[in-house]
Amino acid sequence: MGADVVVIGAGPSGLAAAAMLAEAGRQVQVIARGHGFTHWAAGGIDVLGRLPAGDEAGAGEPVERPLEALGRLPDGHPYSLVGEGALLAGIGHVRALTDRAGIELVGDPAVNRSQITGIGTRRTTALLQTQGDGALAGRVAAIGFAGFEDFSSHLCADRLHRIGLDAVPIEIPLPQGFRGRHVNAVELARAFDGREFRGAVAGTLGRAAAGADVCVVPAVIGLANAAEAWADLQELAGLRVVEAALPPPSIPGLRLFDAWRERLSELGVGWRLGLPAIGAERDGDRVTAVLGEGASGPVRIPCDEVVLATGGVAGGGIETYRDGTLAETVLGLPIDGFAHRTEFLAADFFGSHRLAQAGVRVNRELRPVDRAGAPVLGNVRVIGTQLAGHDPTAEGSREGVGLATAARAAELLAGARARG
């Protein structure tokens, strides 16, 4: 088992890089410990919701127009390294992917919009699945499903009321077979793929929420046939329905993951989840094979190029130690972090955090570099939240940075093959 390019990691950046490389004619192998961040995300694309914290003018300010704000980012920020063109190429890839899968994305990377959450707050994003889009006005009904405990209609309605909306909580029973027990998000989403199930729910919803101008429901309205399920539910209930983003597992995120999985299968990309990368064989400054930890022993995957997309601290791509040191977990790459473990702490728990900014420093070709700026490995590209110079959570830039750097890596490696 070998490949032109081994992609390590199955989050949005790794999956996007693998698909774009395969579309460019490269033989690609994906290995990963697990499913990656796609299952945790809201299923859209956050480009840039807030300027990075720091001493610069405007630091920490909310961003309304992400593309215009790219020029205000520090030189070491991933967007500054790869440019707006790479971001647009990455978003173009996702638009093509979702069009092919029947998932409608709405929005524009040039202008941010808001998305409602399951606790009745608003989060900033640039593009989202159409089921989660829509202004809330008039009489709003927050709809809970009996037995589904990941969404509280009372909490959602209360928070919506606090931001000036006329919101009421309503809980409706699910059809027979789902009553008297706990129902999880994936089970519920798959049930909504069935027309008989959603027809029964629509009848109950139409009666319970009669007179409402819009219904806020948990984001579980279909998985494989989500667009059809959502349209059907609205038509049968005679109500406008907006999905609210929930804690993981994220059903909109799973829809995207399934779209990537199907696309990679079409392109002949080999991939093995549950095979964590544990090291590599090297010849000088080049990786010649990636080593995975298989059930019966190490698995060796020869390769010409490597794309590292294992995520930062939260994704397991960086380990932390009590003395404050940080380590990249697969290739032992230098980490741009901080000097002392006290910097693990931050006064504002929900603000920007130095630990979230830690990562691998790269050059404009996404090759890892040492503190002097010299490339460490010539055939390795690092992408996504593994990169230093940004805080994906505080900035609201996770998917955008992942897609932009994935597109740039694919462009570079496709070009390298063409020159070869």
Encode pLDDT of 188-243 as tens digits: 999 999 999 999 999 999 999 999 999 999 999 999 999 999 999 999 999 999 99
Q: What is the pLDDT of residue 258?
A: 95
Residue 104 has pLDDT above 60, yes or no: yes
Alpha carbon distance 102, 98 (integer Å): 6
Chain segment 163-185, per-residue pLDDT in tens: 899 999 999 999 988 888 899 99
How far is the C-alpha of 66 from the C-alpha of 68, rounded, in Å?
A: 5
Residue 53 has pLDDT above 70, yes or no: yes
Quote the percentage of the chain above a pLDDT of 70. Answer: 93
What is d(CA 57, CA 99) in angstroms, rounded to the nearest whole number? 40
Task: Identify the pLDDT of residue 134.
Answer: 79
pLDDT band at 312 (very low <50, low <70, confident <90, very high): confident
Give the residues across from 30 on adjacent strands. Answer: 7, 271
User: Does the structural domain 118-245 have CATH classification 3.30.700?
Assistant: no
Q: Where are the domains of the chain?
A: 3-103+255-419, 118-245
**298 or 77: which leads in pLDDT:** 77
- Which is more confident, 348 or 390? 390
Measure the CA–CA gap between 405 and 382, rounded to whole angstroms. Answer: 8
For residue 38, is pLDDT > 90? Answer: no
pLDDT, greater one: 67 or 339: 67
Using alpha carbons, list the distances in angstroms from residue 145 to 148, 178, 181, 221. Answer: 6, 10, 11, 12
% of the chain with per-residue pLDDT over 90: 75
> Residues 122-141: pLDDT tens digits?
999 999 999 998 788 899 99
Tell me the pLDDT tens digit for each residue of 273-301.
899 999 999 999 999 999 999 888 889 99
Where does 3-103+255-419 sit in CATH, by number?
Answer: 3.50.50.60
Q: Look at residue 32 and tell me whether its pLDDT is greater than 90.
A: yes
- In SS3 terms, the chain reads as CCEEEEEECCCHHHHHHHHHHHHCCCCEEEEECCCCHHHCCCCCECCCCECCCCCCCCCCCECCCHHHHHHHCCCCCHHHHHCHHHHHHHHHHHHHHHHHHCCCEEEECCECEEEEECCCCEEEECEEEHHHCCCCCCEEEEEEECCCCCCCHHHHHHHHHHCCCEEEEEEECCCCCCCCCCCCHHHHHHHHCCHHHHHHHHHHHHHHCCCCCEEEEECCCCCCCHHHHHHHHHHHHCCCEEEEECCCCCHHHHHHHHHHHHHHHHCCCEEEECCCEEEEEEECCEEEEEEEEECCEEEEEEEEEEEECCCCCCCCCEEECCCCCEEECCCCCCCECCCCHHHHCCCCCCCCCHHHHCEECECCCCCEECCCCCECCCCEEECHHHECCCCHHHHCCHHHHHHHHHHHHHHHHHHHHHHC
Instruction: Show the tokens assigned to 33.
Output: 């410990």
Q: Is pLDDT of 111 > 60?
A: yes
Total residue count of the chain as it appears in this document: 420
CA distance 251 to 103: 12
pLDDT for the residue numbered 344: 62
Task: Specify the amino acid at residue 330.
Answer: V
CB atoms within 10 A of CB 204: 16
pLDDT band (50, 70, 90) for residue 419 = very low
Cβ atoms of 126 and 94 closer than 8 Å: no
Higher pLDDT, 175 or 53: 175
Please, what's the b/e burial string for 316-327 (b: 16 or more CB within 10 A of its CB; e: otherwise)? bbbebeeeeebe
CB 386 within 8 A of CB 308: yes
Q: 335-381, pLDDT tens digit by residue? A: 886 655 666 666 665 556 677 778 999 999 999 999 889 999 999 99
Q: Which of residues 61 and 409 earns the better pLDDT score?
A: 409
Q: Cα(22)–Cα(267) distance, rounded to whole angstroms?
A: 6
CA distances from 76 to 53, 80, 83, 373 (A): 14, 6, 12, 12
Average pLDDT over all residues of the chain: 91
pLDDT tier for residue 7 given thresholds of 50, 70 and 90: very high
Q: Quickly state the pLDDT bin for 158 (edges 50, 70, 90).
A: very high
